[in-house]
Amino acid sequence: MSVTEMFTYIQGFLSADQDVREDIRKVVQVLEQTAREILTVLQSVHQPSGFKEIPSKCTKARELFCTVRTHIADLKTKFPVEQYYRFHEHWRFVLQRLAFLAAFVVYLETETLVTREEVAKILDIQVVREKGFHLDVEDYLAGVLIMASELSRLAVNSVTAGDYTRPLRISNFINELDSGFRLLNLKNDPLRKRYDGLKYDVKKIEEVVYDLSIRGLAKEGEAGGDK
């Protein structure tokens, strides 16, 4: 094979690769759009009036997840399934966002941590790599960490809205999350960086709980009730 032939061959490969990336980018853009819509719906829980409407907001968000599922189904067709990690960085960000949104919805509904399986089910993807388009464990964890900072905000705003028990529940939840993350041996990677921010969320929520308990506003709460 001559040098020119070889380079023509490689060039063909590279442009095919670029085409695939272009396709993926388009779908991911739409996906990001939907993710923003869901976020907008959920943001209203921070409004004083939004606290009563949490269930209805969650239903609305769940409806929007249907659109997400169709887009992800579309995304799956754009590349060979065994090359997931080759194009991973294209959808990594949006998948983390979606994991966060799913976790947030589930938290608002049941006040529990969403499992990786549940997120995968909400997004209609797989948990294990062998079965197809899946949710990488690091992306799931990143999504959970985004939710933690959202919850620290929610704790502050729920006090403003006059809900004094919610911060205590959030505090319990975040502390449990924190001890969960402490079990992980993280490398010096983006996930680790994000995890380093968790302690500030913990701190913020603890300050809220402190403010409430020192003023005797948290008496009926399950967490601070025993003093």
Partner 1 sequence: MNKREAEGCARKNADAAQDRDLSANPSSPIVASFKVFQQELDTKHDKYERLVKISRDVTIESKRTIFLLHRVTNVQDPEEVVNEADVKLDAVRQKIGLIAEELRGEDIYQFHRAFTPGIQEYVEAVSFQHYIRHRSLISLEEINARLVFMKAEKEEPKGADLPMGAQVLTFQVTPADYLLGVADLTGELMRMCISSVGNGDIDTPFKLSQFLRQIHDGFSYIGNTGPYEVSKKLHTLRQSLGKVEDACYTLRVRGSEIPKHMLADVFSSRNTLIDTEEGVV
Residues near partner 1 (CB under 8 A): 1-4, 6-11, 13-15, 18, 82-86, 88, 112-113, 115-116, 129-130, 137-138, 141, 171-172, 175-187, 199, 202-203, 206-207, 209-210, 213, 223-224, 226-227
- Residue placing its CB nearer to partner 1 in the complex, 57 or 204: 204
3-class SS of residue 213: helix
Alpha helices in 44-136 (DSSP H): 54-76, 88-110, 116-122
- Residue placing its CB nearer to partner 1 in the complex, 215 or 227: 227
- Residue placing its CB nearer to partner 1 in the complex, 23 or 37: 23
Q: How far is the CB of 49 from partner 1 (least distance, A)?
A: 30
- Residue placing its CB nearer to partner 1 in the complex, 51 or 140: 140
| Token pair of 116 as six digits | 């990786």
Q: How far is the CB of 71 from partner 1 (least distance, A)?
A: 22
Nearest partner of 23 among 100, 101, 92, 87, judged by Cα: 87
Q: How far is the CB of 66 from partner 1 (least distance, A)?
A: 27
DSSP-assigned letter for residue 80: -
Q: How far is the CB of 50 from partner 1 (least distance, A)?
A: 26
In terms of residues, how long is the chain? 227
| Token pair of 127 as six digits | 């948990």
Q: How far is the CB of 80 from partner 1 (least distance, A)?
A: 11
CA 72/CA 27 separation, integer angstroms: 8
**Cβ atoms 96, 191 nearer than 8 A:** no
CA 12/CA 15 separation, integer angstroms: 5
- Residue placing its CB nearer to partner 1 in the complex, 97 or 116: 116
